[in-house]
Chain A
Amino acid sequence: MSGARADALGIAAFVLVVACAAFALGSNVALTFVMMALYATLMAQAWNLLGGFGGQFSFGHALFFGTGAYVQAIAQVSGGINAWAALPLAVGAAGVVGLLIGALAFRYGLKGSYFALVTLAFAEVFRILALSLGFTGGGVGMMLPLRASATNLQFASPRGYVLMLLGFVTLALAVTAWLRHSRFGASLQAVRDNEDAARALGIAPFRVKLIATVLSGAFMGAAGAFYVQAFQYIDPAIAFGATTSVEALLGAIVGGMGTLWGPVLGALALHALAELTRNLFGALPGINMVIYGSVLVLIVMFMPRGIAGLGVALRWTRRDCLGGAREHDRERTKGQP
């Protein structure tokens, strides 16, 4: 069975399981858990497209999230547009912001830590603008009138949102699978691993990274649009604050960057961890983020390939040991005359 077909089957199974769960689960608590886990998954997948496959670490993915959220809210509140029609606008706007930021950053060759810092700075600029400009409602934020009906993309039960998110997550999985098996995906990963070598092979790194940024931004914008529909509220701190950016990258890194199922696993694990701490410690402010931060440090220290890399790591351990011993022998004999 080819890798592409295996991925397609896996995605189909995932959709089936989640859809069944959505209809089988009766309690709102369980449905909310699924909803929030899918929401975290979508953000992690969005980050993974650029960070995992493109090697461009963004510290400011809230930029796209907030753009999507604000466009979704403003289009309905000020523009009087239906929520379904606002959705492509929100996703598109986030993609356009990705295009602009990516074009600027990559045109001037920013990579590594500098790319991370510049995305963070842009997120801050957007946060301050949202706080200061009139049409965003300023620090008070924007409220969406509550009109629960499917035509307004507002649902009385979390089930509706689970299905909405499942649609986006499935699309993101499909795009990720496409990256794994397409020529474009191969180019993107080549640029990630060695940009100079990729250029020598005739790949245009600027174009490849730019497309990845637009895709990543668009999916993050979809997460922002979902947020507004589900919670009917957005303000500058939620939209462009660091927490959202951190959550996006954390899910992908914990799960395993540059893999298909890593972000799903990572988001699920983190979300379960968050629920667990809430049950153990109650609603202590900050405890969740203390644990998230510690997990990030520990994962980078001990499991740089994330959860999805565990299986691979186990297979590699034996080979590494042998290789390491040989290396050691060579090192020891080298110093002798």
Chain B
Amino acid sequence: MFDFSILFPSLLNGLTTGAVYALVALGLTLIYGVLHIINFAHGAALMLALYGVYVLRTRFGIDPYLALPVMVAGMFVFGYALQRVVINRASHGKDENILLVTLGLSIVMENAALLVFKSDTRSIETPYTLTTVAIGPAMIALPKIVAFFGSLVVAGVLLWVVQRTDLGRAIRAVAKEKQGARLMGIDVAHVYALSYGIGLACLGAAACFLLPAFYVNPQVGSGFVLVSFTIVVLGGMGSFAGALLGGFLVGIVESLGGLFLGDSLGQVGIYLIFIAVLLFRPQGLFGDRV
């Protein structure tokens, strides 16, 4: 039906998008795995990070890739404070409350952005925006290739932090056994806020990789909410490797869905996968049966 020269670029495009999706989903997975909460504000936080990159570029002339340390640090602090001051206090120990609070936060963030930036869709211009690289029969935009490898590097750093550092050990201890961790002298509230901060820091990095080949408007995050939940559920809630694989899978499905069904209907594929996985395989594609 379609020959290789059309399918191949579409596949590559899916892979590069998928890498960024994976990065976004890694943050969500970390937050879910440690705090056991569904961070509904994840998409809105990504949108804020995208605006951050946008403002840094247009106001201060900072290249998106050079803005990475600033954005990662900024989003980390934002996340830490948000968790400690708002989310933690509002939970009252109930999952539904956290879902509602993060929903409220996402509404506030989205509409605050609407107030400040209006509803226009904006993008940035960089010297390399239009540069493309030929891979076989495919022409891929340079920013997408940078996004692909950059996302993998950030994911690697995150895995290293969680697996090999004391901070990571504390995080895993809290995720597994909160009371036990507390008895070992770990400040659980601090680790919660740290994890949430790291989760949002992933978004800061993702925004830097995303914006040169993407756009930002106040609603851009809502598309990412369900996509990243799909990935997290697909990969088995709380699994890092699963989130990475899930990210690539969803990126490819979206790209191929767009190719076969057209851009607007192609989006349905992701939501249908999400619903199907939640219904029939809630433990994820790679998880064990619970």
Give chain A's interface residues, CB within 8 Å of chain B.
57, 59, 104-105, 108, 110, 112-114, 116-118, 120-122, 124-125, 128-129, 131-132, 242, 246, 249, 253, 284-290, 292-297, 300-301, 304
Instruction: Give the residues in chain B near A124, CB-CB below 8 Å.
Output: 226, 271
Q: Identify which of A128, A129, A249, A285 contacts B114 (C-beta below 8 A).
A: A285
A294 to B103 CA separation, bound complex (whole angstroms): 10
Q: Is the CB of A297 within 8 A of B108?
A: yes
Q: Is the CB of B100 within 8 A of A253?
A: yes
Considering only CB atoms, which chain A residue lies closest to B222 in the complex?
Answer: A242
Query: From residue 228 to 287 of chain B, which have CB atoms closer than 8 A to chain A?
Result: 229, 262, 264-265, 267-268, 271-272, 274-275, 278-280, 282
Instruction: Indicate whether A285 sits within 8 Å of B118 (C-beta atoms), given known contacts A57-B96, A108-B279, A117-B278.
Output: yes
A105 to B112 CA separation, bound complex (whole angstroms): 34
Q: What's the minimum C-beta distance from A140 to chain B, rounded to whole angstroms?
A: 13
Instruction: Indicate whether A296 sits within 8 Å of B104 (C-beta atoms), given known contacts A113-B96, A128-B267.
Output: yes
Q: Is the CB of A132 within 8 A of B278?
A: no
Q: Is the CB of B90 within 8 A of A128?
A: no
**9 smallest beta-carbon distances between A and B, as pairs:** A293-B107, A286-B114, A296-B104, A286-B111, A293-B108, A297-B104, A289-B111, A301-B90, A113-B38
Instruction: Say yes or no for B119: interface residue by CB 8 A criterion.
Output: yes
Considering only CB atoms, which chain B residue lies closest to A297 in the complex?
Answer: B104
Query: From residue 195 to 243 of chain B, which have CB atoms closer than 8 A to chain A?
Result: 218, 222, 226, 229
Instruction: Say yes or no for B67: interface residue by CB 8 A criterion.
Output: no
Instruction: Give the residues in chain A near B114, CB-CB below 8 Å.
Output: 285-286, 289
Q: What's the minimum C-beta distance from B78 to chain A, rounded to whole angstroms?
A: 16
A57 to B102 CA separation, bound complex (whole angstroms): 14
Instruction: Give the residues in chain A near B268, CB-CB below 8 Å.
Output: 125, 128-129, 132
Q: Identify which of B100, B226, B279, B280 contacts A300 (C-beta below 8 A).
A: B100
**Which of B90, B104, B264, B274 has the most chain A CB atoms inside 10 A of its CB?**
B104
Instruction: Indicate whether A296 sits within 8 Å of B278 (C-beta atoms), given known contacts A112-B96, A121-B271, A124-B271.
Output: no
Q: Is the CB of A128 within 8 A of B101?
A: no
Give chain B's interface residues, CB within 8 Å of chain A.
38, 86, 89-90, 92, 95-97, 99-101, 103-108, 110-115, 118-119, 218, 222, 226, 229, 262, 264-265, 267-268, 271-272, 274-275, 278-280, 282
Considering only CB atoms, which chain A residue lies closest to B267 in the complex?
Answer: A128
Q: Identify which of B38, B90, B96, B265 contacts A297 (C-beta below 8 A).
A: B90
Q: What's the minimum C-beta distance from A271 to chain B, rounded to whole angstroms?
A: 17
Q: Is the CB of B279 within 8 A of A117?
A: no
The binding surface of chain B is classed by DSSP as: helix
Can you identify 21 A-B contacts, CB atoms within 8 angstroms?
A: A57-B96, A59-B99, A112-B96, A113-B99, A114-B278, A116-B99, A121-B226, A121-B274, A121-B275, A124-B271, A125-B271, A132-B264, A246-B107, A286-B218, A287-B111, A289-B107, A293-B108, A297-B86, A297-B90, A300-B104, A301-B90
Q: Is the CB of A110 within 8 A of B111?
A: no
Q: What's the minimum C-beta distance from B157 to chain A, rounded to whole angstroms?
A: 29
A59 to B99 CA separation, bound complex (whole angstroms): 10
Q: What's the minimum C-beta distance from A71 to chain B, rounded to whole angstroms?
A: 21
Instruction: Give the residues in chain A near B105, CB-CB below 8 Å.
Output: 293, 297
Instruction: Indicate whether A131 sits within 8 Å of B279 (C-beta atoms), given known contacts A112-B96, A242-B222, A297-B104.
Output: no
Instruction: Indicate whether A300 sits within 8 Å of B90 (C-beta atoms), given known contacts A125-B268, A246-B103, A285-B119.
Output: yes
Instruction: Give the residues in chain B near A242, CB-CB below 8 Å.
Output: 222
Instruction: Give the residues in chain B near A59, CB-CB below 8 Å.
Output: 99, 103
Q: Identify which of B89, B96, B107, B108 contacts A301 (C-beta below 8 A).
A: B89
Instruction: Indicate whether A57 sits within 8 Å of B99 (C-beta atoms), given known contacts A120-B226, A129-B268, A286-B111.
Output: yes
A62 to B89 CA separation, bound complex (whole angstroms): 29
Q: What's the minimum C-beta distance from B264 to chain A, rounded to whole angstroms?
A: 5
Considering only CB atoms, which chain A residue lies closest to B115 in the complex?
Answer: A286
Instruction: Give the residues in chain B near A114, CB-CB below 8 Å.
Output: 278, 282
Q: Is the CB of B101 within 8 A of A297?
A: yes
Instruction: Give the residues in chain A near B90, CB-CB below 8 Å.
Output: 297, 300-301
Considering only CB atoms, which chain A residue lies closest to B262 in the complex?
Answer: A132
Q: What's the minimum C-beta distance from A127 to chain B, rounded to whole angstroms?
A: 10
Q: What's the minimum C-beta distance from A48 to chain B, rounded to whole angstroms?
A: 14
Q: Identify which of A118, A131, A296 contacts B103 (C-beta below 8 A).
A: A296
Q: What's the minimum C-beta distance from B27 to chain A, rounded to whole angstroms?
A: 17
